[in-house]
Copies of this chain bind each other. A is one copy, B any other.
Amino acid sequence: MSSMWGTTLKISLFGESHGPAIGVVIDGLPAGCPIDLEQAVAYCRRRAPGRTPWSTARQESDQAEILSGLYRDRTSGAPLAAIIRNRDTRSADYEELQRKPRPGHADLTARQRYDGYQDPRGSGHFSGRLTAPLTFAGAICSQILAQHGIRTAAHICQIGAVKDQLFNPLACDQKQLDALSGRDFPVLDTASGARMAEAVLEAASAGDSLGGAIEGAIFGLPAGMGDPMFDNLESQLASLLFGIPAVKGVSFGAGFSAAAMRGSAFNDTPAMSDGAITFLSNNSGGVIGGISTGQPLLFHVAVRPPASIGREQQTVDLLSGENAVLAVRGRHDPCIVPRAVPVVEAAAAIFSLDVLLGARRWSHD
Protein backbone atom coordinates (compact mmCIF):
# COMPACT_ATOMS: atom_id res chain seq x y z
CA MET A 1 0.00 0.00 0.00
CA SER A 2 -0.46 2.27 -1.71
CA SER A 3 -0.64 1.70 -5.39
CA MET A 4 -2.96 4.63 -5.96
CA TRP A 5 -1.98 8.04 -7.28
CA GLY A 6 -3.74 11.23 -8.24
CA THR A 7 -5.99 14.01 -7.06
CA THR A 8 -8.71 14.66 -9.60
CA LEU A 9 -7.76 11.84 -11.89
CA LYS A 10 -6.86 8.78 -9.87
CA ILE A 11 -5.19 5.56 -10.89
CA SER A 12 -5.06 2.32 -8.97
CA LEU A 13 -2.49 -0.24 -10.11
CA PHE A 14 -2.52 -3.90 -9.23
CA GLY A 15 -0.89 -7.19 -10.10
CA GLU A 16 2.17 -9.30 -9.65
CA SER A 17 4.60 -10.35 -12.34
CA HIS A 18 3.59 -14.01 -12.32
CA GLY A 19 0.03 -13.75 -11.00
CA PRO A 20 -3.03 -14.14 -13.22
CA ALA A 21 -3.10 -10.54 -14.43
CA ILE A 22 -1.89 -7.00 -13.90
CA GLY A 23 -4.10 -3.99 -14.41
CA VAL A 24 -5.19 -0.47 -13.67
CA VAL A 25 -8.34 1.40 -12.71
CA ILE A 26 -8.52 4.99 -13.96
CA ASP A 27 -11.04 7.02 -11.99
CA GLY A 28 -12.13 10.54 -12.85
CA LEU A 29 -11.87 10.55 -16.64
CA PRO A 30 -14.26 13.05 -18.21
CA ALA A 31 -17.19 11.44 -20.04
CA GLY A 32 -17.52 11.48 -23.81
CA CYS A 33 -13.87 11.44 -24.87
CA PRO A 34 -13.30 9.26 -27.96
CA ILE A 35 -10.71 6.53 -27.35
CA ASP A 36 -8.90 4.66 -30.11
CA LEU A 37 -7.82 1.34 -28.63
CA GLU A 38 -5.55 0.41 -31.52
CA GLN A 39 -3.64 3.60 -31.00
CA ALA A 40 -3.35 2.77 -27.29
CA VAL A 41 -1.96 -0.65 -28.16
CA ALA A 42 0.65 0.94 -30.39
CA TYR A 43 1.55 3.37 -27.61
CA CYS A 44 2.13 0.50 -25.19
CA ARG A 45 3.97 -1.71 -27.63
CA ARG A 46 6.99 0.60 -27.34
CA ARG A 47 7.37 -0.57 -23.74
CA ALA A 48 7.14 -4.25 -24.60
CA PRO A 49 10.30 -6.34 -24.48
CA GLY A 50 11.98 -7.55 -27.63
CA ARG A 51 12.64 -4.30 -29.45
CA THR A 52 16.30 -3.96 -28.53
CA PRO A 53 19.04 -6.54 -29.23
CA TRP A 54 19.40 -7.17 -25.50
CA SER A 55 15.91 -7.03 -24.10
CA THR A 56 14.54 -9.91 -22.03
CA ALA A 57 13.41 -12.99 -23.87
CA ARG A 58 10.07 -12.99 -22.04
CA GLN A 59 7.34 -12.69 -24.62
CA GLU A 60 4.12 -10.99 -23.62
CA SER A 61 1.54 -9.65 -26.00
CA ASP A 62 0.59 -7.15 -23.29
CA GLN A 63 -2.81 -6.79 -24.89
CA ALA A 64 -5.05 -4.92 -22.50
CA GLU A 65 -8.66 -5.98 -22.03
CA ILE A 66 -11.03 -3.15 -21.16
CA LEU A 67 -13.46 -4.18 -18.42
CA SER A 68 -15.35 -0.95 -17.86
CA GLY A 69 -15.52 2.77 -18.52
CA LEU A 70 -15.86 2.72 -22.29
CA TYR A 71 -19.20 2.84 -24.07
CA ARG A 72 -19.50 3.16 -27.81
CA ASP A 73 -15.79 3.94 -28.03
CA ARG A 74 -16.01 6.88 -25.69
CA THR A 75 -15.30 7.29 -22.02
CA SER A 76 -18.49 6.83 -20.03
CA GLY A 77 -17.35 8.84 -17.01
CA ALA A 78 -17.24 5.70 -14.86
CA PRO A 79 -13.89 4.19 -13.82
CA LEU A 80 -12.01 2.68 -16.75
CA ALA A 81 -10.51 -0.67 -15.76
CA ALA A 82 -8.11 -2.62 -17.95
CA ILE A 83 -6.24 -5.85 -17.33
CA ILE A 84 -3.31 -7.57 -19.00
CA ARG A 85 -2.97 -11.32 -18.53
CA ASN A 86 0.39 -12.75 -17.59
CA ARG A 87 1.29 -15.69 -19.79
CA ASP A 88 4.99 -16.39 -20.31
CA THR A 89 6.02 -16.93 -16.70
CA ARG A 90 8.88 -19.10 -15.47
CA SER A 91 8.67 -18.98 -11.74
CA ALA A 92 11.37 -21.55 -11.14
CA ASP A 93 13.97 -18.87 -11.82
CA TYR A 94 13.16 -17.18 -8.53
CA GLU A 95 13.43 -19.93 -5.95
CA GLU A 96 17.06 -19.37 -5.01
CA LEU A 97 16.56 -15.63 -4.62
CA GLN A 98 14.28 -16.17 -1.66
CA ARG A 99 17.26 -17.51 0.21
CA LYS A 100 20.00 -15.40 -1.35
CA PRO A 101 18.64 -11.91 -1.98
CA ARG A 102 19.99 -10.10 -5.02
CA PRO A 103 22.23 -7.17 -4.09
CA GLY A 104 20.58 -3.88 -4.98
CA HIS A 105 17.20 -5.53 -5.42
CA ALA A 106 13.99 -5.29 -3.38
CA ASP A 107 14.27 -8.96 -2.35
CA LEU A 108 15.44 -7.96 1.11
CA THR A 109 13.30 -4.89 1.71
CA ALA A 110 10.17 -6.69 0.51
CA ARG A 111 10.89 -9.45 2.97
CA GLN A 112 11.27 -6.95 5.80
CA ARG A 113 8.15 -5.06 4.80
CA TYR A 114 5.86 -8.03 4.26
CA ASP A 115 7.30 -10.51 6.74
CA GLY A 116 8.16 -12.89 3.93
CA TYR A 117 4.60 -13.19 2.65
CA GLN A 118 5.17 -11.19 -0.57
CA ASP A 119 4.83 -12.98 -3.89
CA PRO A 120 8.48 -13.43 -4.94
CA ARG A 121 7.83 -14.82 -8.40
CA GLY A 122 9.24 -12.45 -11.00
CA SER A 123 9.64 -9.86 -8.22
CA GLY A 124 5.87 -9.86 -7.71
CA HIS A 125 4.36 -6.41 -7.25
CA PHE A 126 7.87 -4.87 -7.43
CA SER A 127 8.33 -6.02 -11.01
CA GLY A 128 8.95 -3.53 -13.79
CA ARG A 129 6.06 -5.35 -15.43
CA LEU A 130 3.71 -3.13 -13.39
CA THR A 131 4.73 -0.31 -15.70
CA ALA A 132 2.65 -1.98 -18.44
CA PRO A 133 -0.73 -0.94 -16.95
CA LEU A 134 0.79 2.42 -16.01
CA THR A 135 1.74 2.92 -19.64
CA PHE A 136 -1.72 1.87 -20.73
CA ALA A 137 -3.23 4.49 -18.43
CA GLY A 138 -0.88 7.03 -19.98
CA ALA A 139 -1.97 5.98 -23.46
CA ILE A 140 -5.60 6.72 -22.60
CA CYS A 141 -4.72 10.06 -20.99
CA SER A 142 -2.56 11.02 -23.99
CA GLN A 143 -5.49 10.73 -26.34
CA ILE A 144 -7.62 13.02 -24.21
CA LEU A 145 -4.76 15.50 -23.83
CA ALA A 146 -4.23 15.52 -27.59
CA GLN A 147 -7.80 16.75 -27.98
CA HIS A 148 -6.70 19.76 -25.92
CA GLY A 149 -3.40 20.40 -27.66
CA ILE A 150 -1.19 18.87 -24.99
CA ARG A 151 1.36 16.16 -25.61
CA THR A 152 4.15 14.54 -23.68
CA ALA A 153 7.42 13.19 -25.02
CA ALA A 154 10.61 11.62 -23.74
CA HIS A 155 13.90 10.33 -25.00
CA ILE A 156 17.03 8.66 -23.68
CA CYS A 157 19.36 11.51 -22.80
CA GLN A 158 22.17 9.44 -21.32
CA ILE A 159 23.34 5.83 -21.07
CA GLY A 160 26.68 5.23 -19.42
CA ALA A 161 28.90 8.14 -20.41
CA VAL A 162 27.13 8.86 -23.71
CA LYS A 163 24.70 11.77 -23.89
CA ASP A 164 21.99 12.67 -26.37
CA GLN A 165 20.95 16.13 -27.56
CA LEU A 166 18.22 17.80 -25.55
CA PHE A 167 14.74 18.95 -26.46
CA ASN A 168 14.40 22.47 -27.79
CA PRO A 169 13.55 24.18 -24.49
CA LEU A 170 11.62 27.06 -26.02
CA ALA A 171 8.96 25.32 -28.08
CA CYS A 172 7.62 22.02 -29.26
CA ASP A 173 9.90 21.05 -32.14
CA GLN A 174 7.88 18.81 -34.41
CA LYS A 175 11.01 17.56 -36.17
CA GLN A 176 12.36 16.22 -32.90
CA LEU A 177 9.10 14.48 -32.13
CA ASP A 178 8.91 12.99 -35.61
CA ALA A 179 12.45 11.70 -35.25
CA LEU A 180 11.55 9.96 -32.00
CA SER A 181 8.25 8.50 -33.11
CA GLY A 182 9.71 5.97 -35.51
CA ARG A 183 12.50 4.65 -33.32
CA ASP A 184 12.92 1.50 -31.29
CA PHE A 185 15.77 3.25 -29.55
CA PRO A 186 14.34 6.69 -28.78
CA VAL A 187 17.18 9.21 -29.06
CA LEU A 188 17.33 12.54 -30.86
CA ASP A 189 20.84 11.94 -32.19
CA THR A 190 21.19 8.54 -33.84
CA ALA A 191 24.98 8.53 -33.63
CA SER A 192 24.82 8.90 -29.87
CA GLY A 193 22.18 6.21 -29.80
CA ALA A 194 24.47 3.79 -31.56
CA ARG A 195 27.20 4.42 -29.03
CA MET A 196 24.75 3.96 -26.18
CA ALA A 197 23.64 0.59 -27.55
CA GLU A 198 27.27 -0.40 -27.87
CA ALA A 199 27.91 0.48 -24.22
CA VAL A 200 24.97 -1.63 -23.11
CA LEU A 201 26.07 -4.64 -25.16
CA GLU A 202 29.55 -4.28 -23.73
CA ALA A 203 28.17 -4.31 -20.19
CA ALA A 204 25.89 -7.22 -21.04
CA SER A 205 28.75 -9.26 -22.43
CA ALA A 206 30.48 -8.77 -19.07
CA GLY A 207 27.37 -10.10 -17.31
CA ASP A 208 26.68 -6.61 -16.14
CA SER A 209 24.04 -3.86 -16.54
CA LEU A 210 24.04 -0.12 -17.19
CA GLY A 211 22.09 2.92 -15.99
CA GLY A 212 20.98 6.04 -17.80
CA ALA A 213 18.80 9.09 -17.80
CA ILE A 214 15.70 10.24 -19.62
CA GLU A 215 14.58 13.71 -20.58
CA GLY A 216 10.84 14.27 -20.53
CA ALA A 217 8.70 17.10 -21.79
CA ILE A 218 5.13 18.29 -21.64
CA PHE A 219 4.18 20.56 -24.49
CA GLY A 220 1.09 22.76 -24.53
CA LEU A 221 0.31 22.91 -20.81
CA PRO A 222 -1.34 26.30 -20.33
CA ALA A 223 0.23 28.90 -18.02
CA GLY A 224 -1.20 29.31 -14.54
CA MET A 225 -1.69 25.63 -13.60
CA GLY A 226 -0.49 24.32 -10.26
CA ASP A 227 0.01 25.93 -6.88
CA PRO A 228 2.71 27.11 -4.52
CA MET A 229 3.69 24.90 -1.56
CA PHE A 230 2.73 21.24 -1.76
CA ASP A 231 0.44 20.98 -4.75
CA ASN A 232 3.11 22.49 -6.94
CA LEU A 233 3.61 20.83 -10.32
CA GLU A 234 7.10 19.60 -9.44
CA SER A 235 5.98 17.76 -6.29
CA GLN A 236 3.10 16.14 -8.10
CA LEU A 237 5.06 14.97 -11.13
CA ALA A 238 8.04 13.86 -9.05
CA SER A 239 5.80 11.80 -6.77
CA LEU A 240 4.55 9.91 -9.83
CA LEU A 241 7.96 9.54 -11.50
CA PHE A 242 9.59 8.14 -8.35
CA GLY A 243 6.87 5.46 -8.48
CA ILE A 244 8.56 4.05 -11.57
CA PRO A 245 10.94 1.33 -10.39
CA ALA A 246 14.65 2.24 -10.77
CA VAL A 247 14.17 6.03 -10.78
CA LYS A 248 16.68 7.62 -8.37
CA GLY A 249 16.49 11.29 -9.31
CA VAL A 250 14.09 13.85 -10.76
CA SER A 251 14.93 17.40 -11.73
CA PHE A 252 13.27 20.26 -13.58
CA GLY A 253 14.78 22.68 -16.07
CA ALA A 254 18.42 23.33 -15.26
CA GLY A 255 18.04 20.94 -12.30
CA PHE A 256 21.28 20.21 -10.48
CA SER A 257 23.17 22.48 -12.88
CA ALA A 258 21.44 25.36 -11.11
CA ALA A 259 23.80 24.78 -8.19
CA ALA A 260 26.63 26.36 -10.15
CA MET A 261 24.62 29.12 -11.82
CA ARG A 262 24.18 32.77 -11.05
CA GLY A 263 20.72 34.30 -10.98
CA SER A 264 21.44 36.52 -13.98
CA ALA A 265 22.10 33.39 -16.05
CA PHE A 266 19.35 31.24 -14.53
CA ASN A 267 16.48 33.73 -14.69
CA ASP A 268 14.48 33.25 -17.86
CA THR A 269 14.12 36.69 -19.42
CA PRO A 270 10.59 37.50 -20.55
CA ALA A 271 10.10 39.52 -23.68
CA MET A 272 7.13 40.94 -25.52
CA SER A 273 6.50 39.39 -28.90
CA ASP A 274 3.39 40.44 -30.81
CA GLY A 275 1.61 41.34 -27.59
CA ALA A 276 2.36 38.03 -25.90
CA ILE A 277 5.03 37.19 -23.36
CA THR A 278 7.75 34.81 -24.51
CA PHE A 279 10.95 33.79 -22.76
CA LEU A 280 14.54 33.76 -24.01
CA SER A 281 15.50 30.64 -22.07
CA ASN A 282 13.83 27.90 -20.01
CA ASN A 283 16.03 27.15 -17.03
CA SER A 284 12.94 26.98 -14.84
CA GLY A 285 11.72 24.00 -16.87
CA GLY A 286 8.35 25.65 -17.36
CA VAL A 287 7.51 25.84 -13.65
CA ILE A 288 8.02 28.83 -11.36
CA GLY A 289 6.57 28.99 -7.87
CA GLY A 290 5.02 25.59 -8.52
CA ILE A 291 2.93 27.02 -11.37
CA SER A 292 3.27 26.51 -15.11
CA THR A 293 4.76 29.35 -17.14
CA GLY A 294 3.31 28.20 -20.44
CA GLN A 295 6.76 27.12 -21.67
CA PRO A 296 7.49 23.42 -22.25
CA LEU A 297 7.63 21.61 -18.92
CA LEU A 298 11.04 19.93 -19.00
CA PHE A 299 12.41 17.36 -16.60
CA HIS A 300 15.11 14.76 -16.19
CA VAL A 301 14.90 11.33 -14.62
CA ALA A 302 17.87 9.27 -13.41
CA VAL A 303 17.56 5.52 -13.96
CA ARG A 304 19.73 3.14 -12.01
CA PRO A 305 21.28 0.06 -13.65
CA PRO A 306 19.19 -3.12 -13.22
CA ALA A 307 20.07 -5.03 -10.07
CA SER A 308 19.81 -8.47 -11.65
CA ILE A 309 23.11 -9.24 -13.34
CA GLY A 310 24.63 -12.50 -14.51
CA ARG A 311 28.11 -12.06 -13.09
CA GLU A 312 28.89 -13.35 -9.65
CA GLN A 313 28.10 -11.09 -6.73
CA GLN A 314 28.59 -11.36 -3.00
CA THR A 315 25.39 -11.63 -1.01
CA VAL A 316 24.09 -13.27 2.16
CA ASP A 317 22.44 -16.62 2.71
CA LEU A 318 19.42 -15.94 4.92
CA LEU A 319 19.12 -19.60 5.87
CA SER A 320 22.68 -20.28 6.93
CA GLY A 321 23.35 -16.74 8.11
CA GLU A 322 26.60 -16.64 6.17
CA ASN A 323 27.96 -14.73 3.24
CA ALA A 324 27.32 -16.35 -0.12
CA VAL A 325 27.91 -15.97 -3.82
CA LEU A 326 25.12 -15.40 -6.31
CA ALA A 327 24.91 -15.39 -10.10
CA VAL A 328 21.40 -14.36 -11.16
CA ARG A 329 19.92 -16.53 -13.81
CA GLY A 330 16.78 -15.82 -15.75
CA ARG A 331 15.81 -13.15 -18.26
CA HIS A 332 16.84 -9.65 -17.31
CA ASP A 333 17.43 -6.50 -19.33
CA PRO A 334 21.01 -5.20 -19.08
CA CYS A 335 19.56 -1.69 -19.44
CA ILE A 336 15.93 -0.67 -19.01
CA VAL A 337 16.26 2.92 -20.13
CA PRO A 338 14.83 2.50 -23.66
CA ARG A 339 11.78 0.66 -22.34
CA ALA A 340 11.37 3.24 -19.58
CA VAL A 341 10.99 6.06 -22.13
CA PRO A 342 7.30 5.36 -22.93
CA VAL A 343 6.67 4.81 -19.22
CA VAL A 344 7.98 8.30 -18.48
CA GLU A 345 5.86 9.72 -21.30
CA ALA A 346 2.86 7.91 -19.88
CA ALA A 347 3.50 9.18 -16.36
CA ALA A 348 3.78 12.71 -17.71
CA ALA A 349 0.47 12.25 -19.51
CA ILE A 350 -1.32 10.97 -16.40
CA PHE A 351 0.08 13.88 -14.43
CA SER A 352 -0.91 16.41 -17.11
CA LEU A 353 -4.49 15.21 -17.31
CA ASP A 354 -4.76 15.28 -13.51
CA VAL A 355 -3.52 18.87 -13.57
CA LEU A 356 -5.81 19.88 -16.39
CA LEU A 357 -8.90 18.30 -14.82
CA GLY A 358 -8.13 19.84 -11.45
CA ALA A 359 -7.46 23.30 -12.80
CA ARG A 360 -9.89 25.83 -11.47
CA ARG A 361 -12.03 27.66 -13.94
CA TRP A 362 -13.66 30.02 -11.54
CA SER A 363 -15.64 32.87 -12.93
CA HIS A 364 -16.49 35.99 -10.98
CA ASP A 365 -19.48 36.76 -13.20
Whether B291 and A78, one on each chain, are in contact in the complex, defined by CB atoms closer than 8 angstroms, is no
Nearest CB to that of A213 among chain B residues? B259
Cα-based distance from A321 to B304 in the complex (angstroms): 47
Number of interface residues of A (CB under 8 A): 154
- Binary per-residue interface labels of chain A (58-92) against chain B in the complex, 1 for a CB within 8 Å, 0 otherwise: 00000001111101001111111101000000000
Cα-based distance from A192 to B194 in the complex (angstroms): 40
Whether B16 and A12, one on each chain, are in contact in the complex, defined by CB atoms closer than 8 angstroms, is no
- Binary per-residue interface labels of chain A (212-256) against chain B in the complex, 1 for a CB within 8 Å, 0 otherwise: 110000000001111111111011101110110101111111111
B-chain residues with CB within 8 Å of residue A103 when the two chains form the complex:
267-270
A175 at the interface (CB under 8 A from B): no
Cα-based distance from A138 to B311 in the complex (angstroms): 44
Q: Could you tell me the distance in whole angstroms from the C-beta of A64 to the nearest C-beta in chain B?
A: 12
Nearest CB to that of A130 among chain B residues? B229
Cα-based distance from A130 to B290 in the complex (angstroms): 14
A342 at the interface (CB under 8 A from B): no
Whether B228 and A125, one on each chain, are in contact in the complex, defined by CB atoms closer than 8 angstroms, is yes
A57 at the interface (CB under 8 A from B): no
Whether B81 and A259, one on each chain, are in contact in the complex, defined by CB atoms closer than 8 angstroms, is no
User: Can you sample 17 A-B contacts with CB below 8 Å?
Assistant: A1-B9, A1-B29, A20-B67, A25-B25, A79-B125, A108-B277, A110-B289, A130-B229, A211-B261, A236-B239, A249-B255, A261-B304, A261-B305, A263-B305, A263-B306, A263-B308, A264-B313
Inter-chain pairs besides A113-B224, A259-B303, 14 sampled, C-beta below 8 Å: A2-B229, A21-B68, A68-B125, A78-B124, A78-B125, A102-B267, A108-B288, A113-B225, A236-B239, A248-B253, A248-B285, A249-B300, A263-B307, A357-B360
